[in-house]
């Protein structure tokens, strides 16, 4: 029996998959499924390659109601920039959730991860940020700083952006890009406390190992989404801030306790509140995040396999519509009896 | 910077990768590396898809000295035969161990797993079976029964094969295939005790959940390789047999204790000998398996990510020589600043 597999490159995906409301909605559906409790999501598989200053993470999840499941492999090789290559690469494979056959191979070099991570930030903003956001602040000046602001703007159409980064030149370049993309005011701000003070929505996208946001900067009517910490050693938010917020929400408690801000807060002894609620529960109305415009809320995003499954399925539909990708024919079981 | 990725189908791999001494040697090199202790091999990632009667395993390993590392995804969907599809499928991805870039995608539907599993059986036979094997017995009548005998024959050129299987018709078909492939005597034997009694080398390839080999069938000068058990519920060899053998060796103690015959023996309380030696240690001369022609030896193979990395690298070299596969061009980092 012949079977077709779609092979899709990064540039084909960039041509077909946009960071838009549809992408945000599909990622939201993944969080909703997580909240319903029927998602099967194994712990992240991680491997270090010390001789190459590299690491590899593998994520997957089965989300009932979605026809496929993705397996994502994300290598990070931190000496690559010396070779003129990006540190982060990788691919996603989409399998049929009915037969296990490979449906598509997305040679995306992390593009779909960028999209689903930004979309998750927008989901957090949609459900947790104050209704009116005039100014958004972003920490970091990389791809995610740009994409998080772009995605958040779709759900909270703020008119001003402040960018903080360790490197002023990169921060200014990022602010200029944001201003050009969104057609709004955006500028670099050297004082991180001022970024927080002037913003109603703050998104942190740094690889920081020491907090870049202090607990006493929190102010009424602030929402923070922290997406940088995805490893045991990372920490963007002052551990004391989590308990100080009116609401602290995780994408996945298991992951945040191992890799996110919750890990740092637990290690510092400043989080004693038991298991926080998850974003999926907030979406389902099982948990409350923001109760008033004055609440202070924090969302901790480590990145889930459920998001990967959602965005990969969304991407295949977009690729189908565009007629993009290379089709490879295989014949599963062509070769005689199975064991 | 442009980067080429090779996409290779099962039929292209079947045309280029043979189950030969070179394949056995490359898998042996993986066990040697495991024995040297520098392999990084995370625990197997497993996910169940209960609604589809499916499961997925992901394996990987970094083997110092090998330029690439493989990530293998093995779905098993056990209702597939009703749809005319094989239960087992999957693919392997080969990454550069220097940069993490994808080198090749092997859409092999499990073919490379079949080869590396059979090759591992031959490595076990090479290092553990008696020097002279006249008769080999095999339990099971599927692909692995055929391939294990084919591979073992390369290192122990026996003249006779006995096949036992629950289904006589399948057992006879398997024996006929083996006779035709190897040009030696091969027949179905309905009495499993007799298969063991007449053989010097026995290979078990069944999905049995109750032992198919009893401890009191062990006899001087016997080697058994058990490859069927790769899950917590499986068990091919009487738990009492392991301690009764002069030598019991694991491919990976961690995996065998969770998934292999060692799990059953520990659960039954019949294994109290601490950690067994591993096949890599035997190859390196750090552990002794067979000391005499009369010894009884058992090797427990659950399948390691190190074997996958070895066979994937071997396959890419073969595909390169054959000029096979479809080349896809990508441009990692084409899209601006990295995070």
Residues of A in contact with B336 (CB under 8 A): 143
CA B92: distance to chain centroid? 15
Separation in Å, CA of B4 to nearest CA in chain A:
11
Q: Taking residues A130-143, report their average pLDDT.
A: 97
* Optimal mutation site among B11, B100, B115, interface A, most CBs of chain A within 10 A: B100
B117 contact residues in A (CB cutoff 8 A):
none
Fold of the domain built from segment(s) B129-300: Rossmann fold (3.40.50)
Instruction: Note the pLDDT tens digit of each residue in A232-287.
Output: 889 999 999 999 999 999 999 999 999 999 999 999 999 988 899 999 999 999 99
Chain B nearest CA to A110, separation (Å): 9
Mean pLDDT of A24-43: 96
pTM for this model (two decimals): 0.92
pLDDT over threshold 90, residue B268 = yes
- In chain A, residues with a C-beta closer than 8 Å to the C-beta of B150 are none
Residue B338, pLDDT score: 34
Q: Would you call B7 and A9 a contact, using CB atoms and an 8 Å cutoff?
A: no
- Do residues A114 and A150 touch, judged by C-beta distance below 8 A? no
Sign of CA dihedral A91, A97, A102, A106: negative
B135 pLDDT more than 90: yes
Q: What's the average model confidence in pLDDT over A66-85?
A: 95
- Chain B positions touching A90 (Cβ under 8 A) are 100, 102
**Tens digit of pLDDT for each residue in B150-163?**
999 999 999 999 99
B61-111 residue pLDDT tens: 999 999 999 999 999 999 999 999 999 899 999 999 999 999 999 999 999
Complex confidence, ipTM: 0.91
Indicate the pLDDT class of residue A339, thresholds 50, 70 and 90.
very low
% residues pLDDT > 90 (chain B): 90
Residues A161-174 have pLDDT tens digits of 999 999 999 999 99
The Cα of B240 is separated from the nearest Cα of chain A by a number of Å equal to 27
Measured distance CA(B184)–CA(B164) in Å, rounded: 17
Q: Please give the DSSP secondary-structure letter assigned to residue A174.
A: H
Give pLDDT, residue B339. Answer: 32
Q: Is beta strand B54-61 parallel, antiparallel or unpaired with respect to B277-278? A: unpaired
**Contact between residue A155 and residue A219 where contact means Cβ atoms under 8 Å apart:** no
- Average pLDDT, whole number, for chain B? 95
Which residue, among A305, A282, A166, has the nearest Cα to A225 in the 3D structure?
A: A282
Chain CA centroid to CA B325, Å: 25
Domain borders along chain B are 3-112+305-330, 129-300
Residue A334 sits at φ, ψ, to 5 deg, of -65, -15
CB contact under 8 A, A339 and B97: no
pLDDT tens digits, residue range B279-297? Answer: 999 999 999 999 999 999 9
Q: CA-CA distance, B244 to B257, in Å (whole number)?
A: 18
List chain B residues with CB under 8 Å of A48: 40, 62
Of B69, B91, B144, the CB nearest to A339: B144
- How far A247 CA lies from chain B's nearest CA (Å)? 28
Report the pLDDT value the prediction gives residue B25, as an integer from 0 to 100: 98
CATH class as words, domain B3-112+305-330: alpha beta
């Amino acid at each position: 029996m012949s079977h077709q597999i779609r092979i899709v490159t990064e540039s084909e995906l960039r041509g077909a998959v946009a960071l838009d409301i549809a992408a945000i909605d599909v990622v939201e559906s993944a969080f909703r499924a997580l909240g319903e409790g029927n998602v099967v999501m194994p712990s992240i598989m991680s491997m270090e390659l010390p001789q190459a200053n590299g690491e590899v993470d593998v994520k997957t999840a089965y989300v009932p109601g979605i026809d496929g499941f993705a397996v994502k492999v994300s290598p990070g090789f931190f000496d690559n920039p010396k070779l003129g290559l990006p540190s982060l690469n990788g691919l996603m494979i989409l399998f049929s959730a009915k037969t296990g056959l490979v449906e598509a191979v997305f040679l995306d070099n992390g593009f779909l991860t960028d999209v689903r991570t930004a979309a998750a930030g927008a989901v957090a903003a949609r459900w947790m940020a104050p209704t009116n956001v005039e100014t958004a602040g972003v920490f970091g000046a990389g791809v995610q700083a740009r994409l998080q602001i772009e995605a958040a703007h779709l759900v909270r159409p703020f008119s001003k952006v402040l960018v903080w980064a360790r490197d002023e030149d990169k921060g200014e370049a990022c602010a200029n890009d944001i201003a050009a993309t969104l057609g709004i005011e955006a500028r670099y701000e050297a004082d991180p406390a001022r970024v927080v003070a002037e913003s109603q929505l703050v998104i942190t996208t740094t690889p920081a190992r020491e907090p870049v946001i202090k607990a006493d900067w929190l102010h009424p009517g602030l929402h923070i989404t922290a997406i940088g910490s995805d490893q045991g050693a990372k920490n963007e938010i002052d551990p004391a801030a989590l308990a100080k917020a009116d609401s602290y929400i995780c994408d996945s408690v298991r992951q945040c306790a191992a890799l996110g801000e919750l890990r740092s807060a637990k290690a510092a002894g400043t989080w004693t509140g038991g298991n926080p609620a998850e974003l999926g529960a907030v979406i389902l109305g099982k948990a409350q995040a923001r109760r008033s415009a004055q609440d202070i809320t924090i969302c901790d995003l480590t990145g889930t396999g459920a998001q990967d499954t959602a965005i990969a399925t969304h991407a295949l539909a977009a690729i189908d519509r565009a007629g993009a990708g290379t089709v490879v024919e295989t014949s599963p079981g062509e070769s005689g009896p199975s064991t």
